[in-house]
Structure 1
Amino acid sequence: MSDKSALENMVDAAGAKVNEAADRAREAGHNVAHAVTGDASHKAEALEDRAKAELHNRESHAEYNEGKREAQDGDGH
């Protein structure tokens, strides 16, 4: 992680959660499209969006934990 303040880390964590939610919404849309059309490309796009959501989830947790540590020790690391 970089030398960010606790607030900057928390803002980044929130941004990653927003991105995760958007990815999960797109995943759901592709799953519906796959169910309706049977087109395998929608299923592939849903799997891709799920992977992106998981990545954003891990990013959010890492940023949150770093922000929490920064809030506790305040040394900028």
Structure 2
Amino acid sequence: MSDKSTAGNMLDAAKAKVNEAADRAREAGHNAAHAVTGDTKHKAEALEDRAKAEVHNRVANAEYSEGKREARDGDGR
């Protein structure tokens, strides 16, 4: 993580959560398309979107934790 303010970390955490939600919505759409069509391409895309969502979730958690640490010590590290 870089030296960001608490607000900067929290903003980045929120952005990552929005991206996670979008990935999960796309995953659900691909799963529905797979259920209707049986096309394995949709299942593969759903799995890719799930992996992206997990990455965004980890980023959000890391940014949030860093923001909390910054709020406590306020030294930018």
C-alpha displacement of 1:31: 0.1
**Deviant stretches of 4+, over 4 Å:** none
User: How many residues are treated as equivalent by the alignment?
Assistant: 77
TM-score (norm 1): 1.00
TM-score (norm 2): 1.00
- For the aligned residue pairs, the C-alpha RMSD in angstroms reads 0.2
C-alpha displacement of 1:59: 0.2
Unpaired stretches in structure 2, ≥5 consecutive residues: none
C-alpha displacement of 1:44: 0.1
The CA deviation string for residues 13-58 of structure 1, in whole angstroms up to 9 with x for no partner, is 0000000000000000000000000000000000000000000000
Unpaired stretches in structure 1, ≥5 consecutive residues: none
